[in-house]
C-alpha cells in the first residue's frame, strides 16, 4: 500500500482537464469556433455522434468545480486555455471576455490555495487558422508565439507553472496523419509539416513564456508508451525501435537539442523538406520540466506493410490482461520503465507525470460510484512511480487524468476517466470512490 509521505513534502499532487473536453459554452462571450467544433459536428467523426457544445458546463460551474478539487485535498489544478476563446480568429483581435473567464478560473484556483498549472495548447486550434492550413502552415509558429505572449502577459503575474503543448505526437498523428481527430487530415504531406511546425512552436512558445514571465516554470507534455518487441527476432526489435522513435522521441529529442530521431526511423528524413536554415537550432529549448503522460505500453511486431515504422501493434485485447473502457491494456510497469527511459537523457532535469488515468463505464448507485478497479490502477501506478523515484528518477509530481468525466474526443462521453462522475443531463457531480480514495490518501 503506497503512502503519501513516501513521495516527500515537495511532491505535487494534482488533477488535469482540458478546455474543449469540459468547458462547453462554445458560442458564448465571443469565443470563436475551433477545429473540434467543426470536427465534432461533422457526421460520423465522433463514435457516439456527440460534441463538446455543453460538455461539463465548466464555463458556468468553474467556481464549484474548483472547490471540489480542493475538497479532494489536491494541491494543483491543471487546465488548458482555449486559444479561440482568447483570440477568436486565432490572431489579431483579443477577446476581453475570454481573458476574463480565465482570470476568474485562475483567481478561484489561487483563492482556494491551489496552484494553477496552465496548458497553452490542448488541441482546440481556432478554425480560422485551420482554414489557412493550420499546423501545416509555417506561419503558425508565429501565430502561436503571439498567442502565448498574450496569455503570458495576461496571466503571468499569477501563473508560475506552464505547459506549452499537450501531446504533440497525438495531435499530429491522429489529426494530420490518420484523420481520426480534428481537423481530420491524412497523409505524410500533412503530417510532416505539422510535426515540424509543432516542434518549432513548442520551443518558440517556451521562449515567449520565458521572455514575458520572469520566474516561470516552463514545461511541455508528451504522450508516451513503453515499447516492447513482441518477439525475439531482429525484425521485431527493429520495428520496436522505429515505433519508439515516433511514439516517444519525435518531439522530446528536438526539444533537448538532439534533433529528430531520424537515425532510428529513416522515413523521418522526409522532414528535411520543411526544415529551413537555422531551424534545427531553434527546435531546442531548455524546459524546466518534462510532462510525461502515459496510459499503456506498446507491444509491436514487424509488419512489412507498415511503411516507415514497419511496426504493427499487437491488439490490446490479444495480450491477455485487464482492459480499460478505452480498450487499453493495464500494465503499470509501463510508468516505471518510461520514467527510467526519460530520466536517462542528461538534459531531462525534472519530470512531472502530467496525465495518467483509467477509463471505465462507471454507473452510480444512489449517490455513490464504486470504482475499485480505478483505485487499484492508481495504487499500482503510484507504486511504480515511487519505485522509479527511489531509484533516483527526478519525478516531482503526479496529475490524475481526469478530474471530471468529460468529452473523450472521437470516443464521445462513453469512456469515463474522472474521479468525479458527471451526470450529463443534470450536470450533477458525484465524487467516485476513487476521488474519496485520493481525499483520504492526500488528507
Ligand atoms: O483525454 C485525453 C487527453 O485529452 C489527452 N491525453 C489522453 C487523454 C485520454 O485519452
pLDDT tens column, 113-127: 999 999 999 999 999
- Check 23, 167, 253, 408 and give the catalytic one: 167
**How far does residue 255's CA lie from ligand 1's centre (Å)?**
22
Angle at 385 between CA 384 and CA 388, to 5 degrees: 90
From the candidate CATH numbers 3.90.79.10, 3.40.640.10, 3.30.930.10, 3.20.20.80, the one assigned to the domain spanning 4-442: 3.20.20.80
| pLDDT the model gives residue 223 | 98
pLDDT, tens digit, 9 for 90 and up, residues 203-233: 999 999 999 999 999 999 999 999 999 999 9
pLDDT, tens digit, 9 for 90 and up, residues 352-393: 999 999 999 999 999 999 999 999 999 999 999 999 999 999
Nearest CA, atom 9, ligand 1:
408
- E strands, 157-204, are 161-166
Ligand 1: residue of 401, 405, 413 to mutate (most ligand atoms within 8 A of CB) is 401
Report which ligand 1 atom has the smallest distance to the Cα of 401: 8
Q: Which residues of 94-120 are buried (b: 16+ CB within 10 A; e: fewer)?
A: ebeebbebbeebbebbeeeebbbbbbb
Nearest CA, atom 4, ligand 1:
18
Q: Is the pLDDT of residue 3 over 90?
A: yes
Q: Is the pLDDT of residue 112 over 90?
A: yes
**How far does residue 141's CA lie from ligand 1's centre (Å)?**
24
**How far does residue 408's CA lie from ligand 1's centre (Å)?**
7
Instruction: Verify whether residue 379 is a known catalytic residue.
Output: no
| pLDDT the model gives residue 337 | 99
Report which ligand 1 atom has the smallest distance to the Cα of 293: 6
- Closest listed residue to residue 348, CA positions, set 285, 390, 400: 285
Average pLDDT over residues 406-430: 98
**How far does residue 401's CA lie from ligand 1's centre (Å)?**
7
**How far does residue 281's CA lie from ligand 1's centre (Å)?**
30
Angle at 19 between CA 110 and CA 89, to 5 degrees: 115
Query: Pairing relation of β-strands 227-229 and 161-166?
Result: unpaired
Ligand 1: residue of 19, 402, 405, 414 to mutate (most ligand atoms within 8 A of CB) is 402
Q: Is the pLDDT of residue 246 over 90?
A: yes
132: phi then psi, degrees, rounded to nearest 5: -105, 20
**How far does residue 294's CA lie from ligand 1's centre (Å)?**
9
Average pLDDT over residues 240-256: 98
Q: In whole angstroms, what separates CA 157 from the centre of its chain? A: 24
**How far does residue 293's CA lie from ligand 1's centre (Å)?**
9
Cβ contacts of 8-12, under 8 Å, gap ≥ 24: 10/396, 11/396, 11/397, 11/398, 12/75, 12/76, 12/115, 12/352, 12/396, 12/397, 12/398, 12/399
| pLDDT the model gives residue 38 | 99
**If pLDDT is split at 50, 70 and 90, which confidence band does 285 have?**
very high
- Check 130, 204, 355, 408 and give the catalytic one: 355
| pLDDT the model gives residue 1 | 86
Kindly list the protein residues whose Cβ atom lies closer than 6 A to any atom of ligand 1. Answer: 18, 21, 167, 293, 355, 401, 408
Average pLDDT over residues 418-428: 98
Report which ligand 1 atom has the smallest distance to the Cα of 357: 9
The span from the CA of 214 to the CA of 159, in Å, is: 11
Q: How many residues in total does the chain contain?
A: 443
Nearest CA, atom 2, ligand 1:
408
Report which ligand 1 atom has the smallest distance to the Cα of 417: 9
pLDDT, tens digit, 9 for 90 and up, residues 170-187: 999 999 999 999 999 999
Instruction: Verify whether residue 167 is a known catalytic residue.
Output: yes
Q: Average pLDDT, whole number, for the chain?
A: 98
Question: 365 — alpha (psi -120 to 50), left (phi > 0) or beta?
Answer: beta
Q: Render 7-40 in DSSP notation, one character per residue.
A: G-TT-EEEEE--HHHH---TTSTTPPPBHHHHHH
Report which ligand 1 atom has the smallest distance to the Cα of 359: 9
Report which ligand 1 atom has the smallest distance to the Cα of 122: 4
Ligand 1: residue of 121, 328, 409, 422 to mutate (most ligand atoms within 8 A of CB) is 409
Amino acid at each position: 500500500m503506497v503512502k503519501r509521505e513516501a513521495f516527500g513534502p515537495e511532491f505535487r499532487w494534482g488533477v488535469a482537464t482540458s478546455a474543449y473536453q469540459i468547458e462547453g459554452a462554445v458560442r458564448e462571450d465571443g469565443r470563436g469556433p475551433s477545429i473540434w467544433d467543426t470536427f465534432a459536428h461533422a457526421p460520423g467523426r465522433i463514435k457516439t455522434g456527440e460534441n463538446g457544445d455543453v460538455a461539463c458546463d465548466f464555463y458556468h460551474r468553474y467556481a464549484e468545480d474548483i472547490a471540489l478539487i480542493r475538497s479532494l485535498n489536491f494541491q494543483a489544478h491543471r487546465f488548458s486555455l482555449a486559444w479561440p476563446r482568447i483570440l477568436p480568429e486565432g490572431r489579431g483581435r483579443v477577446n476581453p471576455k475570454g481573458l476574463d473567464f480565465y482570470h476568474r478560473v485562475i483567481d478561484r484556483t489561487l483563492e482556494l490555495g491551489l496552484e494553477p498549472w496552465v496548458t497553452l495548447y490542448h488541441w482546440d486550434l481556432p478554425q480560422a487558422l485551420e482554414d489557412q492550413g493550420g499546423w501545416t502552415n509555417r506561419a503558425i509558429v508565429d501565430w502561436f508565439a503571439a498567442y502565448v505572449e498574450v496569455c503570458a502577459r495576461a496571466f503571468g503575474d499569477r501563473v508560475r507553472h506552464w505547459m506549452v503543448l499537450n501531446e504533440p505526437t497525438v495531435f499530429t498523428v491522429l489529426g494530420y496523419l490518420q484523420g481520426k481527430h480534428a481537423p481530420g487530415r491524412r497523409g505524410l504531406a500533412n503530417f510532416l509539416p505539422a510535426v515540424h511546425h509543432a516542434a518549432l512552436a513548442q520551443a518558440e512558445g517556451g521562449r515567449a513564456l520565458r521572455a514575458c514571465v520572469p520566474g516561470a516554470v516552463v514545461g511541455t507534455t508528451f504522450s508516451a508508451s513503453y515499447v516492447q518487441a513482441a518477439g525475439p527476432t531482429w525484425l521485431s526489435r527493429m520495428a520496436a525501435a522505429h515505433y519508439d522513435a515516433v511514439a516517444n522521441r519525435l518531439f522530446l529529442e528536438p526539444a533537448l537539442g538532439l534533433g529528430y530521431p531520424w537515425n532510428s526511423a529513416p522515413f523521418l528524413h522526409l522532414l528535411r523538406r520543411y526544415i529551413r536554415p537555422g531551424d534545427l537550432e531553434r527546435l531546442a529549448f531548455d524546459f524546466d520540466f518534462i510532462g510525461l503522460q502515459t496510459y499503456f505500453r506498446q507491444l509491436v511486431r514487424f509488419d512489412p506493410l507498415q511503411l516507415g515504422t514497419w511496426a504493427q501493434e499487437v491488439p490490446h485485447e490479444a495480450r491477455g490482461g485487464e482492459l480499460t473502457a478505452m480498450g487499453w491494456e493495464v500494465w503499470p510497469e509501463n510508468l516505471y520503465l518510461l520514467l527510467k527511459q526519460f530520466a536517462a537523457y542528461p538534459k531531462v532535469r525534472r519530470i512531472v507525470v502530467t496525465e495518467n488515468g483509467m477509463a471505465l463505464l462507471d454507473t452510480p448507485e444512489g449517490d455513490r460510484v464504486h470504482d475499485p478497479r480505478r483505485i487499484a490502477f492508481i495504487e499500482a501506478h503510484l507504486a511504480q512511480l515511487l519505485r522509479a523515484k527511489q531509484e533516483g528518477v527526478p519525478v516531482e509530481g503526479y496529475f490524475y487524468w481526469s478530474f471530471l468525466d468529460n468529452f473523450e474526443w472521437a470516443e464521445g462521453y462513453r469512456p469515463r476517466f474522472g474521479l468525479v462522475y458527471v451526470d450529463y443531463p443534470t450536470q450533477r457531480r458525484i465524487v467516485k470512490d476513487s476521488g474519496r480514495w485520493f481525499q483520504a490518501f492526500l488528507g
